[in-house]
Amino acid sequence: MSPTSMSPATKSLLEISHGQYSAGIDPNVGGSLAYWRTGHDLVRPAGKGETDPGQFGCFPLVPYSNRIRDGRFEFGGQTIQLPLNFGDHPHSIHGHGWQGAWDVVSQGPSEARLQFRHEAGDWPFSYLAEQHFCLDDDGLSIDLTVANLSDRPMPCGFGWHPYFPATPQARVEAMVDGVWLTDDEIMPTAWCELPTNWNLPKGSLVAEMASDNLFTGWDGRARIIWPEHGVGLTIRASGNLGYLVVFTPPGENFFCVEPVSHCTDAFNRTEDQAKDQGVVVLPPGGDIAAGMRLQPYSL
């Protein structure tokens, strides 16, 4: 992927539509999805004038997902220290894209393309990320490409952080083979087989999960079911998004089902372990693409 030759545009909210679907994207708030609806909201809508990406319907995770312990890791013989970017949380989280402004490089009635360019600094690699949002008859697709603009290899991870409306009977289904347990700082401690209340292959009631955990062995497909509304949503992800984070905070009006490329804190594994846990190393000039498709259906 190379930078577009178009002049970037600056807009507060991009609105696209196709048939029954409409969506809003805010390039100035992390290239985040502000709403997506068809008569009812399919992701949690952002409030008018909201500037916190954590209050939006979805934001991108680039160039890593979830947490890096203490914001520090070793790569290429260098100790990399990242700023702690989430209040008083002791770890760096979710990368740069969600907290930066994106440039609008194209927009049509049903699609929009945004870019985010990071220059080397605390993260000592330059890169270009691009998101493409598209509505069609079947729903919403979001594609992400990351290109290494540096003259040396760059470790990389990616994904999305969607927020879905919580209802008392909402359920999540996904083919996974295990889960990482965590400590009080949401850092992984041990892998285990699926507990009874997290048996995603059979379907788990969101209200009973109390999860903020990463599930392994995901086959790239998940279903969200809202029985009260008679609707469901299928998530289909590209093959390089082999992990699923499920965040179901008790008492909240949302929950998250996040397709991601690597395990939490995988950057702090050995090189071989990091690769096994999904970290990609992009060569100079190299790029990688991932995709997520969200398809509503009637029960």
Q: Which long-range contacts (CB under 8 A, 24 or more apart) does 195-202 make?
A: 198/246, 200/172, 200/173, 200/174, 200/175, 200/176, 200/244, 200/246, 201/173, 201/174, 201/175, 201/176, 202/173
Beta bridge partners of 114: 104, 131
196 falls within a domain: yes
Say which residue the tokens 């196709």 belong to.
18
60 belongs to a structural domain = yes
- Residue 54 falls inside a structural domain: yes
CA distance 57 to 25: 9
The reply to whether 208 falls in a domain is yes
Question: 194-201: long-range contacts (C-beta < 8 A, 24 or more apart)?
Answer: 198/246, 200/172, 200/173, 200/174, 200/175, 200/176, 200/244, 200/246, 201/173, 201/174, 201/175, 201/176
pLDDT at residue number 11? 58
How many independent structural domains does the chain possess?
Answer: 1
Q: Which domain holds residue 74?
A: 14-298
Residue 8 lies in a domain: no
Shortest CA distance to 42 belongs to which of 20, 62, 64, 63? 20
List, as own/partner pairs, every contact residues 34-40 make where C-beta atoms lie below 8 angstroms and the sequence separation is at least 24, other chains included: 36/140, 36/294, 38/296, 40/229, 40/231
Q: CA 213 to CA 236: how far, in whole Å?
A: 20
What's the angle, vertex CA 169, arms to CA 166 and CA 175, rounded to 5?
A: 85
Question: What CATH code is carried by the domain that includes residue 166?
Answer: 2.70.98.10
The length of the chain, given as a count of residues: 299
- At residue 27, φ and ψ (nearest 5 deg) are -70, -25
Judge whether 268 lies within some domain.
Answer: yes
| C-alpha–C-alpha distance, residues 274 and 288, integer Å | 17
Secondary structure letter of residue 9 according to DSSP: B
Within a domain: residue 9?
no
User: Which stretches within 128-256 are classed as H helix?
Assistant: none
| pLDDT confidence of residue 108 | 97
Mean pLDDT per 10-residue run, the chain (299 residues)?
38 92 98 96 96 97 98 96 95 97 98 98 98 98 98 98 98 98 96 95 97 98 97 98 98 97 97 94 98 97
Residue 129 lies in a domain: yes
